[in-house]
Structure 1
Amino acid sequence: MPHSPKVTVFMPVYNRAVFVAAAIESVLAQNFDDFELLIIDDGSTDDSMAVVGRYDDPRIRVEHNGQNRGIPFTRNRGLDLARGEYIALLDSDDRMAPRRLERQVTYLDCNPQITTLGGWVTKVNGKGRAVRNLIKPLHPDELKAWLLFRCCHANTSVMARTKALRDLRYDEDFAVSSDFELSVRLSEKYHAANMARTLTLMREHGGRITNSSGTKVQTAKVRIAERQLIALGVAFDEEDLARHCRLMRMKGKEWRDHPTFLDWAEGWLERLQRANARAGIYSQRALASVFGQVWFYSCLHASGTIGRRKALSRFTRSPLRKGVSASLIDNLAFALRG
């Protein structure tokens, strides 16, 4: 009978011959060693599998799809083949930070109420040099509320309880953003968190799926947001939905092109708060915290169009501002506990 490790590290591979060796070595270098590294080749046409074949380590398992089936199919196959109690995700062009496995296993063992655990990510360029850090929300209630606007896990940093992911699985209708879609469904049954530590070094390059599928990603996010808004019971039309999905991506010129957007944003966030007061889907405190931050950045980004004084006045006069400090307090307390 095959050994059942504590962790399955799952790495889908498709044409990553240049990067996959660094990814594998970052796993093999972990100080926690009760793992298997499950690599599934999704029909690579380059030398990826030749590179993988250089590693002679009994913890490495290699499977093949035979042809390119796409990331959600491959992820579901990974869930089916995983032997570990926990599954740790790593993209084949990224690297694990030292002690990542140890830290996440310890956390999940000590916090049985948490099902999905991510962390912070450092983006690196093609030469491996740090470019910037991605800071994710920490507290489970706030993380769930942020899902109304964006995915709150860097998928390549996630460790989760295998059974929970296997029960819900990735939706293969989402060729892109399947991780975001699954996170929303997981949030309906389970709790998730992020560690205040850098767990993964994410490589930025032109071949990343998110860099090459912009329109598809935005279409998927509209579908995800629409389902959440329906569940919340808020009335909306197509323009509200489009604006909701644009809210966190608005930049300077866009505010000039949409001079009434700030008025809509304030009214929309207040409508969502009232809808949640009836539906009870999200913690009101966490929702106020998230909306306070969204309102702050909306006013900040609009300041180039309406002027700093007016933007500051709009921010301070709105009841939405009250949630900003709650976010900082909650995240600090959660980080200290974790």
Structure 2
Amino acid sequence: MSLENKLTVLLTVYNGMPYLPDTVKSVLNQNDNSSGSHVSSELKEDNSLKFNLLIINNASTDGTAEYLKQINDPRVKIIHNKVQKDRTQALNQGLELIFTEYTAIIDADDLALDGRFVNQLNFLEENQNIVLLGSNIEYIDTEGRVIGFETYPVNHKDLCSRLPLFNQFAHAACMFRTEAVKLVGGYPEDFKYAQDLALWLKLITNNYQVASLAHNYAAIRLHKAQATRSKEYQELRLLDELRLHKLMLKLPNIDANVRQFALFRVAVAAFKLGRRNQAKRAFTEAFKEKFFLFNPLFWLRLKIELKRLYKKSI
């Protein structure tokens, strides 16, 4: 089985320094070394892993462009935007330029860990029904030290049932079939913060199958400069969260506990946005069922959400 010319790695960046060089290095240093039970002997014998790296420089002003000009690798194609687009538009811009069977995502401050591409490619080649594939992740600090881990379910049913709790696919750990994502319209451009989760929902609601690998194949960097942590994104995040949780309530086979917590998240997001009537309706719906009274996990989640709500209000 040859994996030649099947994969493009998409990286969008706005002011990616100083972490961007490590991110690019982690991608270009990927090789045919594979690990895990999902690696076939056929692949081990065929050292033909080849891929392209497409970088969309989204009008950076911090030295990103200067760094990118120094890259001398035939696998790398760089597009420099003169005018900044929002993140979703930049992702779709890159997607339009990709014609390989598979697309892998890497974010500008994260790392692709050893064996990621070859293992994900091999899994998708052997499981033609799977369109979106994630993996477990590590969390790293600004110095690259591992400070935590995140594990996810591996099969479609369990991944979908837990989506209303939180995103089960770290964006920088995902690989998908390019054609399927284009068929559903790419990243939904009306979502400015949670465009990745919005895309996963589009795939699932269009009856595409998803999966995840039980191995850490991406390192997600946590730092104060992240766009997802800046104050200007908070209202966009809440608006996206409110709409996404309302959509997720329509997913099939949602556990009653999960559905109740999703309703609670809708209520909290609506309350933070000042939509008191909508928040009241969601709270009322969430507390119709009585089983939460005996569910310690629900009360733990409630405590966490109330702490977040309190911090947001002061």
Give the deviation of 1:25 after TM superposition. Answer: 0.5
Q: Which residue of 2 aligns with 1:111?
A: 127
Which amino acid is 2:125 matched to?
D
How far residue 266 of structure 1 moved from its aligned partner, in angstroms, is 6.6
Aligned length: 262
1:137-185, Cα deviation, whole Å (9 max, x unpaired): 2221111122233221001100000111111211111111011111111
In angstroms, what is the RMSD of aligned CA positions?
3.0
2:264 corresponds to which letter in structure 1?
R
Aligned 8 A contact 1:126 1:205 in 2: yes
Q: Distance in 2 between matches of 1:180 and 1:108?
A: 20
Letter aligned with residue 197 of structure 1:
H
1:148-187 alignment, distance < 5 Å: 148-168=164-184, 169-187=186-204
Structure 2: which amino acid aligns with 1:62? I
Task: Map 1:131-146 to 2 at 5 A.
Answer: 131-146=147-162
- State the shift of 1:10 in Å: 0.4
In structure 2, the residue matched to 1:253 is: none
* Equivalent residue runs for 1:1-338 within 5 Å: 5-32=5-32, 33-168=49-184, 169-188=186-205, 189-212=207-230, 213-229=233-249, 243-245=264-266, 267-268=288-289, 295=295, 297-300=297-300
CA distance in 2, matches of 1:269, 1:113: 39
Letter in 2 for 1:205: H
Kindly, what percent of the aligned residue pairs are identical? 27
What amino acid maps onto 1:26 in structure 2?
S
Cα drift, residue 230 of structure 1: 5.6
TM-score by length of 1: 0.70
Contact 1:149 1:245 in 2 (8 A): no
Specify which structure has the higher proportion of helix: 1
Please give the per-residue CA displacement for 1:252-283, whole angstroms capped at 9, x wherever unaligned: xxxxxxxxx9997574598xxxxxxxxxxxxx
Shift of 1:214: 3.0
Letter in 2 for 1:40: I
**Greater Cα offset, 208-217 or 91-100:** 208-217
Secondary structure, counterpart of 1:39 in structure 2: strand
- TM-score, normalised to structure 2, is 0.75
The code of the aligned residue for 1:243 comes to F
CA contact under 8 A between 2:140 and 2:148: conserved in structure 1?
Answer: yes
Q: Decide whether the 8 Å contact of 2:58 with 2:81 is kept in 1.
A: yes
Q: Any unmatched runs of 5+ in structure 2?
A: 33-48, 255-259, 270-281, 305-314
Distance change (3 Å), C-alpha of 1:20 and 1:269: farther
Instruction: Judge conservation of contact 1:146–1:152 (CA < 8 Å) in 2.
Output: yes
